[in-house]
Amino acid sequence: MANFFPRWTNFLPLKIAICAGAVATGAVFAFTYYATPKTLAAGYQPSQPIPFSHKIHVDQLGLDCRYCHSFEDVSGTSNVPGSNTCWNCHQHVRKDSPKLQPLRDRMDPTLKSPDFGKPVKWVRVHKLPDYVYFNHSAHLNRGISCQSCHGDVDRMETVYQKNSLSMGWCLECHRAPENHLRPLEEVFNLKYDPQVYFNEHQAEMQNLGVKKPEDLGKVLKEHWNIHSKETCATCHH
């Protein structure tokens, strides 16, 4: 009887097994990469009812974060400004811009718009699950800047989510807060550069015993008695 199966088939089961294993591993890797907050959430950039540009207001005009997000260092939630905050300036500035029409409709009674008095529905960009408690003031008052989580908001034309905001990402910083700590005076300075700060404050750095810019965080952590927690109740209750 002739051999039904040629010789090369001897290793076929093994090859199939290896291939299947490779495909399965690949699928797992692909899933972990593509279906985690890193790719699902980061980069989310919805369009807003009014195309507000942080770049113009913060980077070019130099507005402080707290002009609009006035309670971010007081409250757990960083507030989004009410239309009256926008109206403070925009009843005088850029009175004809079509982009600001929704704001005028809401604030200017003479236009008699049906939207008058209604709030603006901003699309939420950064969203944590309901079972996560995050407190803005706890971070801003202890030397963590807006930038650490939100990225270079000051240079964003339209706001997008820079970081994954996943639990692993939070813990990364909670385990080593020194990488993000900066002097309280610099928390709202979105152009902060440790090197520049180091160069400009030589005497202060010497006083603190900071030899290179990277060490500043460590010294601040010690000075300020910072023990960022990793237990569940820190964020979940």
Residues interacting with other proteins, by CB under 8 A? Answer: 40-41, 44, 46, 71, 73-77, 79-85, 106-107, 117-124, 127, 129-131, 133, 135, 137-138, 141-143, 183-185, 204, 207-208, 216, 219-220, 223-225, 227, 229, 231-234, 236-237
CA–centroid distance for 50 within its chain:
20
Rg of the chain over Cα atoms, rounded to whole angstroms, equals: 26
CB-nearer residue toward other proteins: 48 or 53: 48
CB-nearer residue toward other proteins: 63 or 219: 219
CB 104 → other proteins: shortest distance, Å? 13
Instruction: Please name which of 122, 124, 174 lies closest in space to residue 148, comparing C-alpha atoms.
Output: 174
CB-nearer residue toward other proteins: 7 or 227: 227
CB-nearer residue toward other proteins: 58 or 181: 181
CB 228 → other proteins: shortest distance, Å? 12
SS3 106: helix
CB 95 → other proteins: shortest distance, Å? 19
CB-nearer residue toward other proteins: 3 or 110: 110
CB 35 → other proteins: shortest distance, Å? 8
Instruction: Please name which of 235, 151, 231 lies closest in space to residue 190, comparing C-alpha atoms.
Output: 151
Q: Is residue 209 within 8 Å of residue 218, measured between CB atoms?
A: no
CB 137 → other proteins: shortest distance, Å? 6
> How far is 99 from 108, CA to CA, in rounded Å?
15
> How far is 59 from 189, CA to CA, in rounded Å?
11
Instruction: Please name which of 178, 173, 129 lies closest in space to residue 149, comparing C-alpha atoms.
Output: 173
